[in-house]
Amino acid sequence: MDAFAPLGDRDFRLYFVGEVLSMAGTGLQTVALGWYLLERTGSATSVGIVWAVGLGSGIVMLPFAGPLADRYPRRTLTVASDAYRLVLVAIMAILAYAGSPSLPALYVLTFLVGLGHSVFWPSITALLQEVIRPDQLTAASGLAEITWQAGNLTGAALGGPILVAFGLGTAFAVDAATYAVSAAALLALHPRPAPAEGPHPSGLAMARDGLAYLARHPAIAGFGVASVIPWVATISLNVVMVAYVLDILHLSATGYGLADMTYGFGAMASGVLAALLVMRVGEWRTMAGVLVALIACYTVIAATPAAVPVFYVVLFLAGFCSSGFRVVTTAYLFKVVPNAVMGRTSSSFLLISMALQVVVTLSVGPLVNHTSARGGFVLLAAIVAAGLALLAAVAPALRRAPLSAVETA
């Protein structure tokens, strides 16, 4: 299997560019806003709150976002989401240029931007099925992970220096520009086939259909939940890592951006190597192995003396393991979940993930304030261990059932 074969397709290349740029804006905003809040308030709790607010918007929107992705053209939804986020982030830039924006204003705008994220991600995930041939899904899933991480690390690399050199307003302005170029790239691609046109049931009825599908296939439901639990740890890492870099390593915003970028480089490597690991040892051994290694990474950071080189090396490995797991689980879900309900099932899993993320991000800030960032890394290891336990619980049922037995909606 050629891991780069999907790049020969013009539409996938445009998909690649659109996702890279959209994620670059998000990554830049993450680093700049997280560091700004921690420096301004001196508390990891404020960073946790802004993450929880953004994730909370997902809980509001995702029950509708999945049905939207199955009911309307997915390219249209991704482009509209980019345009919507562009406007809101531009408002954030204007407020920042005018002076120190109030925390309530930042929280409200973060919530509104999060609504756009919640429509964009189920749509862009499901759109991949319309861009690439079925026999290239695993390779395309790996490359899609690269796009996500390439964008994230580009934004992370720029976020710290832009914040230090030009201020929060410029960081937001660059973020807005990335959404504009992303929308242009996605407009230029030609997906195939688009969701069927004609009369559709209501959004709530489609959401019920998606949940009914998962109820008929509990092993897939359990697998989907297991697939997003490590992502809960990854999101919470943004709260823990900024405190670790500032309070334990005593580095600057640029050092924080480099740490986020190092994690992204590991994740990018997984986009290519995860497919090769699957070929060599199989899907299930790969999934279990990278989770065990991820638990070890977070434990090492929590338990060993602080050293910048060690921290960066372990972050690279953590990025590889977390994203490698997502590559393999996403490709597996593409195999077993019909295209007709993929948007709804993706949004169901994202909804569960975001609910968990809100709880954890609100908890990890006070935990870090009370115990230091090391306690936060202990919590991350425990979260990943829970995902490993759930994966082990559902694996026997899925491995016994032939794919054809679970492919019907």
What's the 3-state SS for 121-147?
HHHHHHHHHHHCCHHHHHHHHHHHHHH
More confident residue, 228 or 154: 228
- 137 — pLDDT class (breaks 50, 70, 90): low
Q: Rounded CA gap, 312 and 263, in Å?
A: 8
- Span 301-330, average pLDDT: 91
CATH code of domain 5-194+202-405: 1.20.1250.20
pLDDT at 123: 83
Query: pLDDT tens, 345-399?
Result: 776 787 778 788 888 888 888 888 888 899 999 999 999 999 999 999 999 888 7
Query: pLDDT tens, 185-195?
Result: 888 887 765 44
pLDDT at 186: 85
pLDDT at 401 over 70: no
Q: Please check whether residue 346 is in contact with residue 68, taking contact to mean a CB–CB distance below 8 angstroms.
A: no
pLDDT at 402: 53
Query: pLDDT tens, 71-125?
Result: 778 888 989 999 999 999 999 999 999 988 888 899 999 999 989 988 887 788 7
Cα–Cα distances (Å) from 222 to 62, 194, 218, 256, 349, in that order, read: 19, 29, 6, 35, 10
pLDDT at 271 over 90: no
- Span 156-175, average pLDDT: 84
pLDDT at 407: 47
Q: Give the other-Cβ count within 10 Å of 134's Cβ.
A: 10
Q: Rounded CA gap, 252 and 14, in Å?
A: 35
Domain ranges across the chain: 5-194+202-405
pLDDT at 404: 43
Cα–Cα distances (Å) from 143 to 139, 298, 328, in that order, read: 6, 26, 12
Name 1's Cβ contacts closer than 8 Å, sequence gap at least 6.
Answer: 138, 139, 275, 279
pLDDT at 343: 66
Query: What percent of the chain stands above pLDDT 90?
Result: 23
Q: Rounded CA gap, 305 and 310, in Å?
A: 9
pLDDT at 12: 79
- 150 — pLDDT class (breaks 50, 70, 90): low
pLDDT at 195: 47
